[in-house]
Structure 1
Amino acid sequence: MKAQRLYKSVADSLLAVIDSGQFKVGDRLPAERDLAAQYKVSRPTMREAVIALEIAGRVEVRKGSGVYVIEQEHSGVKSLDLDVGPFELTEARMLIEGEAAGLAATLISEDEIAELETIIEKMKRENESDDGEELADKAFHMLIARATRNGAIETIIEDLWTLRDRSELTQTMYETVRMVGVKPSIDEHIAIFEALKAKDPIKARAAMRTHLSRVIDTMFEATEIEAFEAVKRRVSEDRKRFKLLLKTG
C-alpha cells in the first residue's frame, strides 16, 4: 500500500471484500482494532477508511454498535478518494506549523502580537456560537505563517488549510468532532501566543506541536465518545423503561 492516500487503499480493499459477498447487507464488519491488525495499518487510518465507505454509502456506522454493510442507495460508484485524510493532514500541519511557530517567534512584530490577541478574543466568541465557523482559528495560524517572513512557508501552510477545507473526509471528521461539543482550545492557542510574545522559539514550537498533536487525539477520541455516549443513552433509556415496567407490573 502506498503511504499516500493509505486510507483509500484500505477502503478499496475492504470494499472488494464486501462486493465479493463475504459481508452481506446487514452484516457487521469486524471490530476496528481487528481490521487495523488485518490490514496492518493504524486505527486512525482504518477509521478514515470506514468514514470514506460511509460517505460513499456502502456502510453505516451505528454508534455504540459497530459498522454495518448497507444497501447501496445511489446508482453508480462514488469515488473513495476524498482528498487527504484528517489524521495525515494534521500530522503534516504539526510538523510544518511547529517549525513555523519557532521561526515566527524570532521575527514576529509587536503589531502582530496585538493582532493575535484580538484573534483569540474572536475565537472565544466563535466558540460560544453554534454556527460551526472557525474563521478565527484559521486567521490565528495564518498570521503566524505570515510572521515567518517566508513566502514559501506561508504558501505551504495556506495550502494545508485549503486541503483541510476541501477534503470531504476531513470535513466529515471535523463535523463529528463539533457534534460532540469539541471546539478549538483557547488555552492551547494562548500557550502558543504567550511563547510568541516572549519571543521564545523553543516554547513556541513545542506549544504548536502540542496543540496539533492534541487535535489528532481529539479527532480520534471524539468518535469513541460518540459511541460511549450512545451506549449511555441507551442504558439510561433501558433503565427508565425497566422502572416503568416495575411500576405498571
Structure 2
Amino acid sequence: MTNNLGLTMRSAASSPRGARSIARELQEAITNGAFGYREQLPTERQLAQNYGASRTTIRKALMWLEDQRLVERRPGSGTYASYEPETSNQDIAERTSPLELIEVRAAIEPQMARLAVLHATARDLDKVQSLLKELQTAEQALDAERYSSADEQFHLAVATCTSNPLLVWLYKQINIIRTHAQWADMRKKILTRENMRIYNEQHAAILRAIQMRDAAGAADVMVQHMAKARDDLIGAHSL
C-alpha cells in the first residue's frame, strides 16, 4: 500500500526503535488521519523495514495500539485502523442517507477514474489488483462484511491512484459514512451472490481500463458501476 507515513517512516529506519516509541508514532499517524477508519496499515514486514526494527518489536507496538483500540488485527488479513472519527464526522454520517451518499459518489468517481488513468503508478495498480482479488475471495465465500470492507478499500485505492491528496481525503470521509449502522441492513439486502459477481466484473473492468490508460473507458465503467449500485439501493429500500 502507499506509505502514508511518508518521510517520518523513512527517517526512522536510520536507528533502531523501541516498541512503545514506534507505537506512539503510529498512534499519531492514525489519530491525525494518515490512516482512515478501517484503512489497512503496512504489513509487519514493511513496518519492520521502515523502522529498522524486528518484527517482534513491531508486533508489540501493534499489540499496544490494539489495546488502545486504535487498530484491529485480523488474522490472515492484516492490521486496520479502528480509530473512531470525531463527533462531527459521526453527525454527518447519521444525517446522510445511503442514497445521498451514492449520489455524491456518482458525481465524483467517474472523474476519479479518469485521474487514476493519468497518474497511477505500477505500485498503485498492484494495490488495486490485490484488492480485486480480496473482493473475489469475499464473493466466493459469500461474505458480505468482508466484501464491503474490501470494496471500501478498492475504491480508496483508485482514489490514491489519482495522486490528489484532497480526493484521497474526501474518499476517506465517504468510507467513514459507509461504516454507519444504517449501512449494515442495506449491505445484507444488496450484497447477494449475483450482485457481488456483477460488481466484481465492473471492478475488474475499471482496473483494466486504468491499466490500459483508457480514461474514457474507466469513467464509463465507473458510471455504470455507480448506476448499478444506485438501482440496487433503491430496490433494497422497497423490500
TM-score (ref. length: structure 2) = 0.55
Note the alpha carbon deviations across 1:124-168, whole angstroms, 9 max, x for none.
1111224422222122111111111111111111101111112x3
Q: Which runs of 5+ in 2 are unaligned?
A: 1-92
Deviation at 1:110, TM superposition (A): 1.8
1:160-175 superposed matches below 5 A: 160-166=174-180, 168-175=181-188
1:26-105 superposed matches below 5 A: 82-105=94-117
Residue in 1 that maps onto 2:48: none
Note the alpha carbon deviations across 1:33-57, whole angstroms, 9 max, x for none.
xxxxxxxxxxxxxxxxxxxxxxxxx
Is this contact kept in 1: 2:114–2:216, CA < 8 A?
A: yes
Is this contact kept in 1: 2:142–2:193, CA < 8 A?
A: no
1:136-175 superposed matches below 5 A: 136-166=150-180, 168-175=181-188
Residue in 2 that maps onto 1:119: 131
Is this contact kept in 2: 1:180–1:222, CA < 8 A?
A: no
Q: Identity over the aligned pairs, expressed in percent?
A: 21
- Among candidates 215, 233, 242, match of residue 229 of structure 2: 215
SS in 1 for 2:95: coil
Residue in 1 that maps onto 2:189: 176
- Among candidates 82, 95, 110, match of residue 122 of structure 2: 110
> Quick check: 185-194 or 199-208, which moved more?
199-208
Q: Which has the larger radius of gyration?
A: 1
Q: Which runs of 5+ in 1 are unaligned?
A: 1-80, 227-249
Deviation at 1:82, TM superposition (A): 3.7
How many residues in Structure 1 have an aligned counterpart in Structure 2?
145
Query: Quick one: distance in 2 between partners of 1:204 and 1:119?
Result: 17
SS in 2 for 1:140: helix
Is this contact kept in 1: 2:125–2:161, CA < 8 A?
A: no
Query: Quick one: distance in 1 between partners of 2:213 and 2:174?
Result: 25
- Among candidates 187, 193, 215, match of residue 201 of structure 1: 215
Aligned CA-pair RMSD: 2.3
- Alpha-carbon distance change, 107 to 192 in structure 1, aligned in 2, over 3 angstroms: same
Query: Quick one: distance in 1 between partners of 2:138 and 2:193?
Result: 16
**Aligned letter for 1:92?**
V
TM-score (ref. length: structure 1) = 0.53
Query: Quick one: distance in 2 between partners of 1:85 and 1:172?
Result: 12
Is this contact kept in 2: 1:84–1:169, CA < 8 A?
A: no
